[in-house]
Amino acid sequence: MKEVAAKYINHFIHCRTQWIDTWDCTCDDDCPICHWEIEPFASEEIDDKGNVVETIWHVDPKTWVPEGGWPESVRDSAVWHRDRHWALIPGDEAAP
C-alpha cells in the first residue's frame, strides 16, 4: 500500500494581508505585497481526503500580533473560529 505524504494548509499574515498556501510541509512563503519570506502563524495538517487532522500553531495565538498589524479578514478566519484561539486585536476590548 502506497503511503500518501502529509499535506499542510499554511496560514500567513504580513503587510496587513492574510493568505494560505498548501504544501507537503509547514514551509515559509513570500509575502505577496513586499516579497519577504514569511513563516506561517499556523498550519493545518490535512489527510488525503482533505480533512483537517491537526492544527499546528507556530506562534502563541493569544499574544501574537503580526508585523504590520491585523488585517480585517482575521475575524473571519476558520482556523481562529474552529480552535477558539483569539489574540486580542488592538482596539477590541476582548476577542470574540
CA distance 76 to 28: 22
Name the pLDDT band for 84 (thresholds 50, 70, 90). very low
- Please indicate, yes or no, if residue 75 is contained in any of the structural domains: yes
Domain count for the chain, please give it.
1
> What letters, b where the CB count within 10 A reaches 16 and e where it falls short, cover 7-22?
bbbbbbbbbebbbbee
Question: Domain range holding 21?
Answer: 7-83
- Please indicate, yes or no, if residue 89 is contained in any of the structural domains: no
Q: Could you say which DSSP state residue 75 is in?
A: G
- Please indicate, yes or no, if residue 34 is contained in any of the structural domains: yes
Would you say the pTM of this structure is higher than 0.85? no
Q: What is the pLDDT of residues 2-57, one digit of tens each?
A: 555 669 999 898 888 888 898 888 899 999 999 999 999 889 999 888 888 888 88
- Please indicate, yes or no, if residue 93 is contained in any of the structural domains: no
- Please indicate, yes or no, if residue 59 is contained in any of the structural domains: yes
- Please indicate, yes or no, if residue 21 is contained in any of the structural domains: yes
- Please indicate, yes or no, if residue 90 is contained in any of the structural domains: no
- Please indicate, yes or no, if residue 61 is contained in any of the structural domains: yes
